[in-house]
């Protein structure tokens, strides 16, 4: 997969995950777009590092959302003590 397509795929994935962001989708989209535009002129090595950071952010967002779902399920089915 070419680097350009990896960056586009990363951007799309981040926007998809941003739908459930606690501060709202618009806030997430603006920040994400600004970060990608700020780094649009990087060389290949620097761009690869940022793609790796982006993959890490995706994993962190997924774990944040899973924790949120777990806490919601726990509150629904177990009484507060």
How far is residue 2's CA from residue 71's CA, in Å, rounded to a whole number?
A: 39
Mean local confidence (pLDDT), 23-52:
93
Helical spans, DSSP H, in the chain: 3-17, 25-38, 44-77
Confidence of residue 1 (pLDDT cuts 50, 70, 90): confident
Q: What is the longest distance spanned by two Cα atoms in the chain?
A: 55
- Angle, helices 3-17 vs 44-77, to 10°: value is 20
pLDDT 10s digits, 55-67: 999 999 999 999 9
């Amino acid at each position: 997969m070419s680097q350009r397509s990896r960056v586009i795929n990363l951007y799309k994935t981040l926007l998809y995950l941003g739908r459930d962001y606690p501060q709202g989708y618009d806030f997430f989209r603006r920040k994400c777009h600004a970060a990608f535009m700020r780094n649009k002129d990087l060389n290949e090595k620097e761009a690869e590092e940022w793609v790796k950071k982006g993959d890490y952010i995706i994993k962190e967002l997924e774990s944040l959302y899973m924790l949120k779902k777990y806490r919601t399920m726990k509150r629904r089915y177990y009484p507060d003590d």
